[in-house]
Structure 1
Amino acid sequence: MRLTIEHHTQYVYTTPVNYTIQQLRLTPQSGFGQHVKYWDIKVQGQMHEFEDAFGNTTHTLVVDTPHTELSVTVVGEVETGVNDYSQEQTLPLTIYLRDTPLTLADASIKDFAMAFKQKPIDDLMHALVQKVGYIPGATEVTTTAVEAFRLEQGVCQDHSHVFIACCRSLGYPARYVSGYLFTQDGSLMQSHAWVDVWFDNAWQSIDVSNGCHAGETYVRLATGLDYRTASPVTGMRSGGGVEGMATSVVVNQAGAPIHQKHKMNQIELLKQAQLIQQAQHAQQ
């Protein structure tokens, strides 16, 4: 399957930003069932490419002139479902047993996971998605696995963190995966997250939110111990006042009509970012 991706991120600020620095993990790599046909990132600043500790292609973006807007645009095409699973393992598997604040398992998570110690990994996946419902807006990017498990609700990021916590508590190395998901009806036009777990002597890619294994409709961007180490964009700025941010993601089969209802042009995206900024400013 040949998938095209357009991912636009627009930032606006109430006062000028003096300096912005971001880490962009927005570049997929060939291997692990996918082949990158082409990929391009457009930004208003200087970019430096490097490979992070987890083997992700990463760019440091620096904008050192005053700015009240910032946009990041990604456009590319990836062929999925290819018979190429070569991806150099840069770290020992034991690294993926390390706890992080976002994936730490408490007694409740450990007890829940222990019931699946001698069972197929899919059984744990299905039980978890039944336990923690998919409820957009119920959590934040800072929500931990323990908090999401206690709330019994969250989104793909939370499902991934709880599943990782369960797997590591059982002694299975697990890592967070960020990327994109294609759906025929265009219903999930946003960044997505799932998990690689080392089970039966191989990496198995598990999408807990959708109760399935990740396959040819998925494009992986980056992996890490948790959201923070695999997030598509992280960074900081000096100045700027109140920030407004809006994103537009379109994942489509190459050559097929684009779901126009999910595609925003730059002007529409800027207006949405400004509305979000105004709402946040009014709350302060």
Structure 2
Amino acid sequence: MKLSIRHDTTYSYADEVCTSIQFLRLTPQDSQRQRILQWHLELPRLVRSQIDPYGNILHVLTLDEPHGAIVLTAYGEVEIDRSREVEPDSQSPLPFLRSSHLTQCDAALSAFAVQHCGARRDRAALTELMHALADHMPYSPGATAVDSTAAESFAGGVGVCQDHTHAFLACARSLGIPARYVSGYLCTEDESHLASHAWAEAWLDDGWYSFDVTNRLTRPERHLKLALGLDYLDACPVRGMRRGGGAERMQARVQVSSMVQVQR
């Protein structure tokens, strides 16, 4: 399957910003499951890429001159191998047993994980956990904030893909299963779900398996991976800081579509 992606992000400010730094994880990488046919970034200035501690491609955009807006655009085409369910990895999965502020597991999450997985530590158990979390936390845009923790969103009983993923990570790690946060894009006909997406991967049988709680999917057939980490802060496509500017307004538009492949 071939996917076409365009991601436009615009930040505008009430006053001029003196200086700003944007950390951009907007560039996907080739893997056994996805092949990057072409990919482009359009930024206010030329920025060199680097690799962050989790192996993601990172661009650090620094603007030292006063500015009233920032426009970021990423677009390209990617081919997805829909038959591949597992992603092998030569690196140790053990770092993804660590918790973080956003994925801290409390007593309620721990009990929920045991309730649905018991002593099982296999894909079927985590699939049951995925469905149980989707039932417990219906998709509800605007019900949580970007800094909501797994425990907070679980207690509130609602969330978006970020909250679903954090709750799954908290549960999986409490069971001793390495799990990591994935940011990327999803090709879907459901316009109520933004094409910019997040899901989890868990280490089972010497490979990473996907668990998309929001869409109840365990096969990443229409998913394009951008970045990964312990939680949202490690893997979010755009994260920044600034001095000055006053009130901020952010507009994001993501378009993901399937490209028709013509056989010759």
TM-score with structure 2 setting the length: 0.91
Percent pairwise identity: 44
Deviation at 1:253, TM superposition (A): 1.4
Counterpart residue type for residue 6 of structure 1: R
Q: How many residues align?
A: 255
In the TM superposition, what whole-angstrom CA distance separates every residue of 1:170-229 from its partner, at most 9, and x where no partner exists?
Answer: 000000000000013555343100000012332110100111114221100000000000
Structure 1 residues 174 and 214: CA distance shift in structure 2, 3 A: same
Aligned to 2:74: 74
Q: Is the 8 A contact 1:117 1:170 kept in 2?
A: no
In structure 1, what is the equivalent of residue 65 of structure 2? 65
Separation in 2 of the partners of 1:179 and 1:214? 15
Which residue does the alignment assign to 2:126? Answer: 121
For 1:244, the equivalent position in structure 2 comes to: 249
Matched, 1:223 2:228: yes
Unaligned runs of 5+ in 2: none
> How far has the Cα of 1:54 moved from its partner?
0.5
Structure 2 residue aligned with 1:204, among 209, 215, 221?
Answer: 209
SS at match of 1:44: coil
Q: 2:162 aligns with which of 147, 153, 157?
A: 157
Matched to 2:259, the amino acid is A
Alignment partner, residue 14 of structure 2:
14
Report deviation, 1:128: 1.1
For 2:214, give the aligned amino acid.
S
Q: Do the aligned residues in 1 keep the contact of 2:89 with 2:208 (CA within 8 Å)?
A: no
CA gap 1:186/1:77 in 2 versus in 1, 3 angstroms: farther
Amino acid at match of 1:55: G
Greater relative contact order structure (CA < 8 Å, 6+ sep): 2
Following the alignment from structure 2 to structure 1, what is the Cα–Cα distance between the partners of residues 211 and 98? 19
Q: Secondary structure at the match of 1:20?
A: strand
Q: State the shift of 1:88 in Å.
A: 5.0
Structure 1: gaps of 5 or more residues? 257-284
**Quick one: distance in 2 between partners of 1:77 and 1:186?**
21
Paired residue type of 1:208: V
Which residue is 2:109 aligned to? 109
Q: Read off the aligned partner of 2:30 and give its amino acid letter.
A: S
1:1-284 matches, cutoff 5 A: 1-81=1-81, 89-90=90-91, 92-115=92-115, 116-119=117-120, 120-184=125-189, 186-255=191-260
**Which secondary structure state, in structure 2, belongs to the residue aligned with residue 168 of structure 1?**
helix
Q: What are the Cα deviations for residues 148-179 of structure 1, in whole angstroms up to 9, with x where unaligned?
A: 11101110000000000000000000000000
CA distance in 2, matches of 1:123, 1:242: 43
In structure 2, the CA distance between the partners of 1:87 and 1:200, relative to structure 1 (3 Å rule), is closer
Instruction: Please state how far the C-alpha of 1:46 moved relative to its aligned partner.
Output: 4.0
Contact map agreement 2:113 2:175 (CA 8 A) in 1: yes
Deviations 1:89-145, CA, capped at 9 Å, x for gaps = 44x211000010000101111111012133421111111111111111110110000
Q: Which amino acid aligns with 1:34?
A: Q
Tell me which amino acid in the other structure corresponds to 2:29: Q
SS at match of 1:154: coil
Which position in structure 2 is the counterpart of 1:266? none
**What is the distance in 2 between the residues matched to 1:3 and 1:212?**
18
Return the offset for 1:83.
Answer: 6.9
Alignment partner of 2:28: what SS?
A: coil
How far apart, CA to CA, are the structure 1 residues paired with 2:223 and 2:68? 34
Counterpart contact for 1:181–1:188, Cα < 8 Å:
no
**Distance 1:166-1:218 versus aligned 2 partners, 3 A rule:** same
